[in-house]
Amino acid sequence: MARSDAGLTALNSGAAVAGNHLARERGVLGISALLFIASAAATVYWCRSMSGSMAMPGGWTMSMTWMRMSGQNWLGAAASFVGMWVVMMVAMMLPSLVPMLLRYRGSVRGPDKTRLGRMTVLAGAGYFFVWAFFGAVVYPLGFVLTAAEMRCLALARSVPIATGGVLLLAGCVQLSAWKARQLGRCRNAPPCAPSPSSKVRSAWQHGLRWGVHCSMCCSGFMVILLVTGVMSLGAMATVTAAITVERFASRPERAARFTGVVVIAAGVLVIAGALRCGLSL
């Protein structure tokens, strides 16, 4: 009788723990869903508000993303871009980050609900800090290149061919062994150190590590997004879908290779179109 009561008590205790764990994860999933909806809505709003473009020699249009608004200084324009970029990255990368956060929460033992929530937030903040740094590096390059294209007619005419060349390079990266290694690191990265720590500071470090792995793995996709239209909803949706498929596919290498072939074909078409346009001028 005593053994039966002990077993029933253990069963009830286990069920309670499982129920509490499920409730905690439902909270994370719910907050993540709301954050995704908000960031996606903000991204759509910004894309539509900056939908203007300038016709350029060579048959292409320049996005207003890299141009300063009237009365805006360079630092303000850079801060605005980085803010926009981070919101875009939240919308694009959150579907891939949430499973990593759930694994992280499951691996950490000890902290109470409040502290675990704080650690989860810090891990996510560290992850997106890396993407913010990526955007801060990209903006000056885009700004300088845009200014050069507006001053130099020959450079402006070469942009379509250069875009096709970048697509070819990005497609080749997708087919490379380097990409396969980075994808494996990103998908299989341990949620935390071999001996999980409940220290809040470690959560930030884990987020930074995830961000570095993920940004390296997605560098080809980000370059594609930048050259095809950083404010293009279609380009963002396509890149987001490709990244998500790579993270969840049972054979990620095949998904990466398929994407690489598609990107190479797109690069060939862009170059062929640019050459055809050049011959007709």
DSSP symbol at 62: E
Alpha-carbon dihedral sign for residues 234, 236, 239, 245:
negative
CB 223 within 8 A of CB 166: yes
CA dist., res. 67 & res. 50, Å (int):
10
What's the pLDDT at 13?
44
b/e code 213-242 from CB counts within 10 Å (16+ = b): bbbbbbebbbbbbbbbbbbbeebbebbbeb
The secondary element (H helix, E strand) that includes residue 61 is strand 60-63
Which residues, 6 or more positions from 263, have their beta carbon under 8 angstroms from its beta carbon?
A: 167, 168, 170, 171, 174, 220, 224
pLDDT score for 14: 41
pTM: 0.83
CA 2 to each of CA 9, 14, 150: distance values in angstroms, whole numbers, following the listed order: 10, 18, 85
How many structural domains comprise the chain? 1
Give the Cα separation of 88 and 231 in Å (integer).
9
Residue 22, judged by CB atoms within 10 A of its CB (0-12, 13-18, 19+), counts as: exposed
Q: Say what the pLDDT of residue 109 is.
A: 63
- Give me the residues paired with residue 67 across strands: none
54 has which bridge partners?
A: 62
Alpha-carbon separation of residue 70 from 63, 76, 230 (angstroms)? 16, 11, 21
Residue ranges making up the domain that contains 214: 2-280
Terminal Cα distance for the chain, rounded: 94
The pLDDT score that the predictor gives to residue 245 is 92
**Angle (deg, nearest 10), helices 233-248 and 2-49:** 150
- Model pLDDT, residue 193: 45
DSSP secondary structure of 193-216:
-SS----HHHHHHHHHHHHHHHHH
Tell me, what's the pLDDT at 271?
Answer: 92
- Going residue by residue through the chain, which has 281 residues, state the pLDDT in tens, using 9 for 90 and above: 444 454 444 444 444 444 455 566 888 899 999 999 999 999 999 888 776 667 777 677 777 777 777 777 888 888 989 999 999 999 999 999 998 888 888 877 665 666 788 888 999 999 999 999 999 999 999 888 888 888 888 888 888 999 999 999 999 999 999 999 888 887 776 554 434 445 777 889 889 999 999 999 999 999 999 988 888 888 899 999 999 999 888 888 899 999 999 999 999 999 998 888 764 45
pLDDT at 149: 84
Residue type, 197: S
